């Protein structure tokens, strides 16, 4: 089977698709929410003028798993980063590059990066089930990268599912979900399923980092609400502030924006409620900022791996043709 090489080792193919997405950006035709309609579309749509991720392999020589990653990252990015993303993605890929190891390298980063990897956030003894599952999946992906081919001896899907189901707290649960998505993507499933799982892994990673961020912010919000209660002038306000604190902790693990709206509805009842609503609204904005930070990190990590992908030399191609 002939090796899949980026742009089928043809600079003209890269130039064609890169010019296409640049023209769509210049015409303000890169949009969210659908693939390709009436001359507008998302990252994948404006690249293919269609919606078939598998066509990346046939048309561009790019593994479909990377097309799913490009798609998922684009849909989560906000302006001005989103419209630049399709051409950054294509431009980063060298003509003739072997991209087969970019996906496992990216998965390793999501699991163990010192700043954003989920493994570092399950080091407490109570998270041993989650940590073991993540380490097992990480070991597999590292072996994949080191060997240059996908190992055959992988059997961690059940282990990661058990960790995913062992609800200790929201952050650990989310971290295990990352490992579970990675396990599915590495297991013996059709390429299409694996590619979708890779996209789910990138999304699960964002959720996990957000959950960890939210857990710390929830604690701070609860302390702030407690301080309001301590300084309240009567028992009714103490009870009200305590109630807001409890809701705040739950909110940060669920839907901050929804709870902000709920608190705003009750804001007129007391200054304490109004102040807490403002604080929670600020947290909601900070949470969205964190999500964008993580997605931009994912984007930059993927671009770095694409740029560093090895280009297959001409004599290697000749040798392959002779086989």
The string of pLDDT tens digits covering residues 63-85 is 999 999 999 999 989 999 999 99
11 CB burial (10 A radius; 0-12, 13-18, 19+) = exposed
**Percent of all residues in the chain with a pLDDT value above 70, rounded to a whole number:** 65
Between 247 and 203, the more confident residue is 203
Comparing 164 with 56, the larger pLDDT belongs to: 56
User: Could you tell me where the DSSP H helices lie in the chain?
Assistant: 11-26, 43-48, 55, 64-76, 81-92, 102-112, 128-147, 157-165, 170-186, 191-230, 235-253, 256-266, 271-307, 314-322
CB 145, CB 105: distance < 8 Å: yes
Averaged pLDDT for residues 100-129: 88
| Whether residue 18 has pLDDT greater than 80 | yes
Residues whose CB falls within 8 Å of the CB of residue 86, separated by 6 or more in sequence, listed in order: 21, 24, 25, 30, 43, 46, 47, 70, 74
Asked, as a colleague might, if the bond just before 28 is cis with ω within 30 of 0, I would say no
Q: What are phi and psi of 78, to 5 degrees?
A: -110, 165
CA distance 127 to 130: 5
How many angstroms separate the CA atoms of 179 and 194, rounded? 14
By mean pLDDT, which of 34-48, 262-276, 302-316 is the weakest?
A: 262-276
Q: Which pLDDT score, from 0 to 100, does residue 290 have?
A: 78
Is the pLDDT reported for residue 41 higher than 90? Answer: yes
pLDDT of residue 163: 65
More confident site: 280 or 185: 185
């Amino acid at each position: 089977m002939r090796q899949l090489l980026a742009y089928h080792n043809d600079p003209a193919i890269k130039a064609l698709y890169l010019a296409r997405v640049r023209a769509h950006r210049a015409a303000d035709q890169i949009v969210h929410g659908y693939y390709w309609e009436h001359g507008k579309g998302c990252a994948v749509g404006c690249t293919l003028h269609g919606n078939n991720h598998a066509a990346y392999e046939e048309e561009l020589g790019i593994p479909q798993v990377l097309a799913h990653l490009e798609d998922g990252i684009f849909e989560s990015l906000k302006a001005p980063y989103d419209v630049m993303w399709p051409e950054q993605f294509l431009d980063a890929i060298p003509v003739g590059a072997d991209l087969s190891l970019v996906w496992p390298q990216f998965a390793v980063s999501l699991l163990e990066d010192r700043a954003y990897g989920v493994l570092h956030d399950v080091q407490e003894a109570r998270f041993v089930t989650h940590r073991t599952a993540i380490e097992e999946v990480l070991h597999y992906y590292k072996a994949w990268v080191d060997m240059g081919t996908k190992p055959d001896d992988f059997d961690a899907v059940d282990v990661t599912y058990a960790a995913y189901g062992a609800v200790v707290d929201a952050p650990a649960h989310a971290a295990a979900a990352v490992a579970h998505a990675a396990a599915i993507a590495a297991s013996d499933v059709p390429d299409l399923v694996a590619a979708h799982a890779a996209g789910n892994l990138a999304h699960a990673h964002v959720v996990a980092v957000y959950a960890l961020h939210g857990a710390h912010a929830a604690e701070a919000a609860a302390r702030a609400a407690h301080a309001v209660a301590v300084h309240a002038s009567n028992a009714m306000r103490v009870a009200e502030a305590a109630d807001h604190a409890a809701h705040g902790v739950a909110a940060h693990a669920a839907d901050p924006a929804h709870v902000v709206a709920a608190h705003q509805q009750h804001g007129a009842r007391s200054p304490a409620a109004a102040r807490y609503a403002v604080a929670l609204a600020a947290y909601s904005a900070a949470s969205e900022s964190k999500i964008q930070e993580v997605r931009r990190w994912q984007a930059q990590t993927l671009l770095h791996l694409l740029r560093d992908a090895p280009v297959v030399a001409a004599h290697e191609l000749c040798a392959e043709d002779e086989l």
